Structure 1
Amino acid sequence: MLIDGHGREVDYLRVSVTERCNFRCQYCMPEKPFSWVPREELLSYEELFEFVKVAIDEGIRKVRITGGEPLLREGLDNFVKMIAEYKDGIDLALTTNGYLLPQVADKLAKAGLKRINVSLDSLKEEVAEKIAQKNVLKKVLEGIQAADDAGLKIKINCVPMRGVNDKELVDLIEFCRKREYPIRFIEFMENEHAHSGAKGYTSEQIQEIIGKDYKFKKVERTGSSPSQDYEMEDGYVFGIIEPHKDDFCATCNRIRLTASGVLIPCLYFEDAQSIKEAIKNKDIKKAVEILKDVLAKKPEKNRWSEDSKISSRAFYETGG
């Protein structure tokens, strides 16, 4: 069992396989050039898997593959297969923008992927293009359908942006409710890499918008999910991820690994340590030592709850 310095059990590893992305979303990396870390500086799938095995052996029970956009890295199904076959019962999931899913959803499901989170910020072509700075909606919707056809469990993520997609929250709920997909609205997390004019909504403001059309009640929070859920009268449940709330970090069970081998204890802070050398030298003992040291120094909470606090963290490296 892995325990951090504040007594929280950590059983969830998020693995970013690339910082590259084919979108330039306003809330993430709109100004970053289309460049990437040289391939030789990245850990191979086999090397990433060596650390994943260490983490699972130490108590990790959930692994989520992220990016950047993870589907840009070729052979991802092979990495999924390695993890799926290592130990029964591992909750193996993927977060994606969905654009490349039509070509690979079936392969990923056959490799052992169980669940998938897809970013869907708008159902209007022009709005989706404004957010992603690319004409993406048709391919994303095709990707969601391909994942559904492949038997993957689907969850939709949406970041409500002021003056951009805030008129569509009800439409997005209806889209998901008809298909029995859960949807989670994510408070915009202020960061230095976002568009300078990007503004989001608080959880209360999101609830107020949705409340004009629906009645719903708060669901008591259980476990370590980052989402606060709300149940509508017909039983459909939507969630809001609230990083600006003081209690958001109270049950944090997550740690993150980048494609270049950097182990990150908190999404907000830059504090991190590299396991790259230990893994390349096959020094498993050292990798475990670094993992436990990173956990011991894991911050108690982020600083988004403080007025005007902006993170310097690049989400495209850590997968959010």
Structure 2
Amino acid sequence: MRPQLVDGHGRDIGDVRISVTDRCNFRCQYCMPAEGLPWLDRKDILTYEEIARVAGLLASMGVHDVRLTGGEPLARRELWKLVEMLSADGNIHDLSLTTNGYLLERQVEQLVRAGLRRVNVSLDALAPDRFFQLTRRNSLQQVLSSLAAAEKYPELRPIKVNVVALKDFTEDEVVAFAEFARKHPYEVRFIEFMPLDGDRNWSRDRVLPNAEVRRLIHAAYPLKDLGRERHGTSRRWEFADGQGSIGFISPVSEPFCGDCNRIRITAEGELRTCLFSMTETDLREPLRNGASDAELEALIRAAVWEKELKHHVNDEGFVQPLRTMSQIGG
């Protein structure tokens, strides 16, 4: 084992989100333009072997939690092979996947067999017409079927359902999602809309604060506060009668940057220390030019040392990053 990876503010880095592709089969309004984005060439994307090497190096520095993201990660062929590589690394303690769910049902058995242990499924509406309005795809039933398929595997726990909350849209879905959480072994998590959309139409007026979401749920089903774990993004609540749980991720109204322990690697191998970073560190070229583990380690440590203390979404003069969420890795 190598010394713990730390940033210049004294935070131990323990979590990496690795994007395996920028491609996606949905066109969610908070993420991508309706016409999509130009895709990376295949040669520009890290290979599974390159990803496994970087993840293994990070894990040896104490970054024990790995989440695979995209784009839509299951759009990349035979993702189970990468899961198998990563799950074989004893230094990787938690291996999870964030997906829109469209392709999960047909792949879940292979993924679990390969060693996947947790899954987050994006689901922003339970009414078919509203699902289509937000994702620009008529695919609600496929996502619900995938959740049901994942539920059959007790190895995949907890199953988290991510709901991006948009003002004047999500309010009508809130109580339905609370009932959804009560009926299934899911943690339904409401995520405040962040300025990472492809249309660059974000404004604070479009953010539905989680305090309002919580008020709407509590009026129907009283909640008990379970708090937020250190380094966690979600403040969790359970229903007063003990069924199901709700999470609130509030990066706009209640930032949790102070104990952030996450870094990100984009599909083409750029290391980002914050979702809203304005700079990146290229790992792909050193990987392909024969850099040793020691050289890669030094490069990573130098970049992470400069990790931002906080994002500046709430500051005057905030500048939205050029990359969208799909290009960074959700």
TM bucket by the smaller chain? over 0.9
In structure 2, relative to structure 1, the CA distance for the partners of 1:63 and 1:208 (3 Å cut) is same
> Which blocks of at least 5 consecutive residues in structure 2 are unaligned?
none
Deviations 1:270-311 (A, max 9, x none): 221011122113412221112111111100001123368452
1:157 correspondence with 2:162: yes
1:215 corresponds to which of 198, 218, 222: 222
Q: Percent identity?
A: 36
Structure 1: tracts of 5 or more residues without a match: none
Could you say what secondary structure the match of 1:298 adopts? coil
Distance 1:270 1:59 in 2: 25
In structure 2, which of residues 102, 112, 135 is the aligned counterpart of residue 109 of structure 1?
112
Bigger drift between 191-200 and 298-307 goes to 191-200
**1:182-209 residue CA offsets vs partner (Å, 9 max, x unmatched):** 1110000023524637723112222222
CA offsets 1:13-64 (integer angstroms, 9 cap, x no match):
1100001111110111124535410001111111111111111111111000
Matched, 1:43 2:42: no
Say whether the 8 Å CA contact 2:209–2:253 is kept in structure 1: no
1:225 aligns with 2:235: no
Give 3-state SS (helix, strand or coil) of 1:293's partner: helix
Matching residue of 1:317:
327
Q: How many pairs were matched up?
A: 320
Q: TM-score, normalising length from structure 2?
A: 0.92
- Per the alignment, residue 171 of structure 2 pairs with 166
| 1:188 corresponds to 2:210 | no
CA contact 1:246–1:305 (8 Å) conserved in 2: no
State the distance in 1 between where 2:309 and 2:213 align: 26
Counterpart amino acid of residue 48 in structure 1: I
Moved more, 16-25 or 142-151: 142-151
Distance 1:162 1:72 in 2: 30
1:275-286 alignment, distance < 5 Å: 275-283=283-291, 284-286=293-295
Separation of aligned partners in 2, 1:291 and 1:88: 18
Find out whether 1:8 has 2:18 as its counterpart: no
Q: Alignment RMSD, CA only?
A: 1.8
Flag the 1:299–1:89 CA change in 2: closer, same or farther, 3 A.
closer
Distance 1:89 1:269 in 2: 25
Give the Cα separation in 2 of the matches to 1:282 and 1:176: 49
* Bigger Cα displacement from structure 2, 52-61 vs 85-94: 85-94
Instruction: Render the CA deviation track for 1:229-269: whole Å, top value 9, x for unaligned.
Output: 22321234311101124651011010001111100000012
| Selected match of 1:204 from 197, 201, 211 | 211
For residue 170 of structure 2, give the secondary structure of its aligned residue in structure 1.
coil
1:251 paired with 2:259, answer yes
Distance 1:249 1:172 in 2: 27
* 2:83 is equivalent to residue 80 of structure 1: yes
- Provide the rounded CA distance (Å) in 1 between the counterparts of 2:189 and 2:118: 15
Moved more, 158-167 or 295-304: 158-167
- Say which SS state the counterpart of residue 189 (structure 2) adopts: strand
What's 2:268 paired with? 260
* In structure 2, distance between residues paired with 1:172 and 1:88: 36
Partner secondary structure for residue 95 of structure 2: strand
TM-score by length of 1: 0.94
Deviation at 1:90, TM superposition (A): 1.4
**Higher mean C-alpha displacement, 26-35 vs 103-112:** 26-35
